[in-house]
Amino acid sequence: MIKIGADELILWLRKNNYAKNITNDELGKKIHTIIANIGGRLIEHDQITFWDNDKNAKNINELLLPKTAAQYEVDLSQLPQIYQSLTYIDNE
């Protein structure tokens, strides 16, 4: 089992030009569904992220990176399925 945050998944989506027009809140809900469907477990709802959360941070907003994010515990073998599901997130 590993711990992975929705913030890490949102960063991956943004860096790879997926979900450009989907807010972080919407992405968080979709990520929760993806992880719940593969048997992952929510372990923390609103953890502060590790990147710059200063009020003037340029990468923090609803269409870039979140200030807080849910944290999950998932089986390591499920990571490919999670990322594969994320590639279709624009089409949901």
Q: Give per-residue pLDDT as tens, 64-80.
A: 889 899 999 999 999 99
Number of domains in the chain: 1
What is the pTM assigned to this prediction?
A: 0.90
Query: 11, 65 in Cβ contact below 8 A?
Result: yes
Structure token pair of residue 37? 């469907």
Q: What is the pLDDT of residues 12-32, one digit of tens each?
A: 999 999 998 999 999 999 999
Query: 68, 48 in Cβ contact below 8 A?
Result: yes
Write out the residue range of the structural domain in which residue 84 sits.
2-91
